[in-house]
Amino acid sequence: MSYYSDTNPTAMRSFFIIFTVFASFLILASCKNTKNQDRPPVSDAEIDINVLTENLSHPWELVYGSDNKIWMTERGGKVSWIDPVTGSVNLVANLTEVVSRGEGGLLGMALHPDFVNTPEVFLAYNYLKGGVYTEKVVKYRYNGTSLINPSILIDNIEANTFHNGCRLLISNDNKLFISTGDAGDKPLAQNMNSVNGKILRLNLDGSIPADNPFPGSPVWSLGHRNAQGLVFGNNVLYSSEHGPNADDEINIISKGKNYGWPNVEGFCNENAEKDFCQANQVVEPLKSWTPTIAVSGIDFYTQDYIPQFKNSVLMTTLKDNTLYQLKMNAAGSSVESMTEIFRGTYGRLRDVCIAPDGKVYVSTSNGSNDKILVISKKN
């Protein structure tokens, strides 16, 4: 028996309609007031997209250095820096040891946070170790013209023609984060004896930090399929991760947590996933995409230059040919809205970096005549 069974249903319905309209009016009016009084409107900047440089081959990593140069890897083995004004490309290394197969090759790069005084360059790449396709992370020193003094920080990461990760990121407290793929061997992502399908954390000399979650292990988080985006935004570590046919993800990476792969894809919404999620306290993504869009490099916008980008993750996509803006809430804990900054025209997009002045640089990944694009404010 319904609670309202003794009242006239038509009268009740009319009352609710009138009440809802009145309440909506009040909410709208109060929103408008708050906006006008507390937040003077900041109008969106009109943006320009231009080609900074071209004739590149799979530019994989873009890092804006504290030396005001755009540092770039190309998958075949080249490391260069680009003058952000003229677009001229200056080769500093062509690593002949790199073996590029399928999605493998020279991948992620990070620079020492105090690069001007400590010119160290960290590189992740695939090579043949006794004939076996393998991945390692190597630190080099930049002497002003080329990369010298290689020292291996971590080796024996399983590699394949796909799912090799491998984004590098150095935190302000000088820890190196490394995203590794499952190299096509799914169970590795849940295997704590493997460094594959993980986010790893090392000191800058390759040693394991004493405060890592699993003593003596480089593993910071597990259960990753193939994360190719990694960035800090207001001290929150974000990662983008390729899903299989479904469920590309954007995650917040927390110490010692399990992100589910291969037992969980995207959210813990299937019955089989729910048990695993409960047993392993799986962290769900902030957002997932089905069908997949092939999420790749990400960076975080804190500048005022293009006001509508502030407090957003900017994310490239390969399959979707689109640069996305994921506007975060103030705490950085959820995605408030998603906007296409541009779609199409330039094909697949691999990575993005943001300069301190607020200009945004994006690399394409089409394999021939790849470009670095610059997004600036229209004059």
* Least distance (Å) between residue 199 CB and Ca ion: 12
The smaller minimum CB distance to Ca ion, of residues 201 and 224, is found at 224
> For residue 68, what are the CA distances in angstroms to 59, 84, 120, 356?
19, 8, 15, 9
Give the binding range for Ca ion (CB under 5 A) out of 48-56, 105-113, 269-277, 305-313: 269-277
What DSSP element (H or E) covers 276? Answer: helix 271-280
**Binding to Ca ion, residues 235-264 (CB under 5 A):** 259-260
Does 269 participate in binding Ca ion (rule CB under 5 A)? yes
Does 65 participate in binding Ca ion (rule CB under 5 A)? no
- Separation of alpha carbons 170 and 152, rounded Å: 16
The smaller minimum CB distance to Ca ion, of residues 225 and 359, is found at 225
HSE-CB of 24 using CA atoms within 13 angstroms: 6
- Separation of alpha carbons 174 and 165, rounded Å: 21
- Separation of alpha carbons 253 and 305, rounded Å: 28
The smaller minimum CB distance to Ca ion, of residues 110 and 231, is found at 231
Tokens of 267: 């959210």
HSE-CB of 9 using CA atoms within 13 angstroms: 3
Does 105 participate in binding Ca ion (rule CB under 5 A)? no
The smaller minimum CB distance to Ca ion, of residues 61 and 284, is found at 284
* Least distance (Å) between residue 181 CB and Ca ion: 13
Does 266 participate in binding Ca ion (rule CB under 5 A)? yes
Residue 200 and residue 178 in contact, taking contact as beta carbons nearer than 8 Å: yes
* Least distance (Å) between residue 62 CB and Ca ion: 25
The smaller minimum CB distance to Ca ion, of residues 162 and 342, is found at 162
- Separation of alpha carbons 360 and 305, rounded Å: 10
- Separation of alpha carbons 165 and 89, rounded Å: 25
* Least distance (Å) between residue 61 CB and Ca ion: 23
* Least distance (Å) between residue 254 CB and Ca ion: 13
Does 74 participate in binding Ca ion (rule CB under 5 A)? no
**Which strands form 47-56's sheet, in the order they lie side by side?**
47-56, 370-377, 360-364, 349-354
Does 289 participate in binding Ca ion (rule CB under 5 A)? no
Residue type, 202: L
The smaller minimum CB distance to Ca ion, of residues 80 and 240, is found at 240
Largest pairwise CA distance in the chain = 87
* Least distance (Å) between residue 241 CB and Ca ion: 6
* Least distance (Å) between residue 196 CB and Ca ion: 15
**With CB under 5 A, what is the number of residues at the site for Ca ion?**
6
Give the binding range for Ca ion (CB under 5 A) out of 90-98, 131-139, 267-275, 317-325: 267-275
The smaller minimum CB distance to Ca ion, of residues 65 and 223, is found at 223
Does 265 participate in binding Ca ion (rule CB under 5 A)? yes
DSSP string, 9-66: HHHHHHHHHHHHHHHHHHHHHHHHHHHHHH----PPPPEEEEEEEEEES-EEEEEE-T
The smaller minimum CB distance to Ca ion, of residues 56 and 294, is found at 294
* Least distance (Å) between residue 376 CB and Ca ion: 35
- Residues of the shown chain interacting with Ca ion in the complex, contacts defined by CB under 5 A: 259-260, 265-267, 269
